[in-house]
Structure 1
């Protein structure tokens, strides 16, 4: 797949970041399923599931919720969301054939900005994956760059069992923590069908 597609989709998705209200954020419901099974459409669907779960795990969180944590040594909900942001960025950068440069700073972003950007990253990755063929995945490497010039390069397989699955893991933690904080997710969300009733 030509790299100009990555640039096009990045600009398209990011053009909406920060300009939408909560009702317009992506993944309120799962997008329609593809008509055919390919490596690209399967990975795109898996990424859509990540977006749907993140959307609802973070919808309606309060400022007080963000500081909640299960114990003294545990991350707060807000810190967990920061970590999900980093993981999703790493995965999306791989699909865009871009390196991830550390450290990744999130302290200057509000919660709403982080939530919007995370969903936009997921939407970008999903769109690119759905257009991908088998050969494209050979180029979707995780490339990490440190300030001291050192780095690491890992194949897309590591992106699956690494940041993608780790993000899903931590989204589940957010769901549990917010329930403990007294603000469970919307009970009308149907995760099997990817819908929410009004």
Structure 2
């Protein structure tokens, strides 16, 4: 009787732990790529590009440890943590392109988890806005009143750059002894 009770309690604890892990995965966007839109428009294609970026960034940064964040391939290069900071800045630039508004946090000192969460949320907000965009001419890359660039520059600038740097994180974490989780399928946008 006692063994049966112990087994049931342990099984319950394991199930609750798995459920808690599943809930925490749902707290952040891009555990999986969202459903594809029904139609191809300039806005939905741009949004899907950002969704692909979000998915790659999610898995590139999932489970990073302090030693990974400190890893630096050489004296001249950025550390993984500095690369995360750079992608966070790019995510704010991408969001500003779509909404012209971002949460200013210049003086806040964010933890890695907070930066990761905000980065993923910025990608998701930008994607959601672009899915409904009728004309990408409205979404300029604005630096100030005198210096604005068309959305084309957002694609080859901060969006492509963030994809590039997400790949660098994957390589650097492998070098620091913490390779990316197995089972991530970037073609399908899923995790087994």
Q: TM-score range by the shorter chain?
A: 0.7 to 0.9
| Corresponding residue of 2:85 | 82
Q: Which of 23, 35, 41 matches 1:32?
A: 35
SS of alignment partner, residue 143 of structure 1? strand
- Number of residues paired by the alignment? 170
Which residue in the other structure is 2:131 paired with? 130
How far the C-alpha of 1:92 sits from its partner, in A, is 0.9
Match of 1:11 in 2: none
Partner of 2:15: none
Counterparts of 2:108 and 2:175 in 1: how far apart (Å)?
Answer: 25
Q: Is this contact kept in 1: 2:25–2:31, CA < 8 A?
A: no
Equivalent position of 1:162 in the other structure: 157
Larger helix percent: 2
How much has 1:100 moved relative to structure 2? 9.8
Q: Given the two structures, how large is their TM-score scaled by the length of structure 2? A: 0.82
Does structure 1 residue 140 correspond to structure 2 residue 139? yes
The alignment yields a C-alpha RMSD, in angstroms, of: 2.0
* 8 Å Cα contact 1:44/1:126 also seen in 2: yes
The aligned counterpart of 1:16 is none
Displacement of 1:23 in angstroms is 4.7
Shift in CA distance, 191/71, structure 1 to aligned 2, threshold 3 Å: same
Residue 166 of structure 2: SS of its match in structure 1? helix
Distance in 2 separating the partners of 1:161 and 1:153: 15
Does residue 1:184 correspond to 2:185, yes or no?
A: no
Q: Please give the residue correspondences for 1:35-74 in structure 2 after superposition, counting only pairs within 5 Å.
A: 35-74=38-77
Residue 138 of structure 1 deviates from its aligned partner by 1.1
Deviations 1:113-141 (A, max 9, x none): 000000000000010000111x2x11211
- Aligned equivalents of 1:107 and 1:77: distance in 2? 20
Contact 1:33–1:45 (CA under 8 A) maintained in structure 2: yes
Q: Contact 1:93/1:100 (CA < 8 Å) preserved in 2?
A: no
Q: Gaps spanning 5+ residues in structure 1: where?
A: 1-19
Displacement of 1:151: 5.7
Structure 1-normalised TM-score? 0.80
Q: Report the alpha carbon displacement of residue 105 of structure 1 after superposing the two structures with TM.
A: 3.6
CA contact (8 A) 2:31 2:58 kept: yes
Task: Tell me if structure 2 keeps the 8 A contact 1:142–1:156.
Answer: yes
* 1:124-170 CA-partner distances (Å, limit 9, x unpaired): 0010000111x2x112111124xxxx862111111110000011111
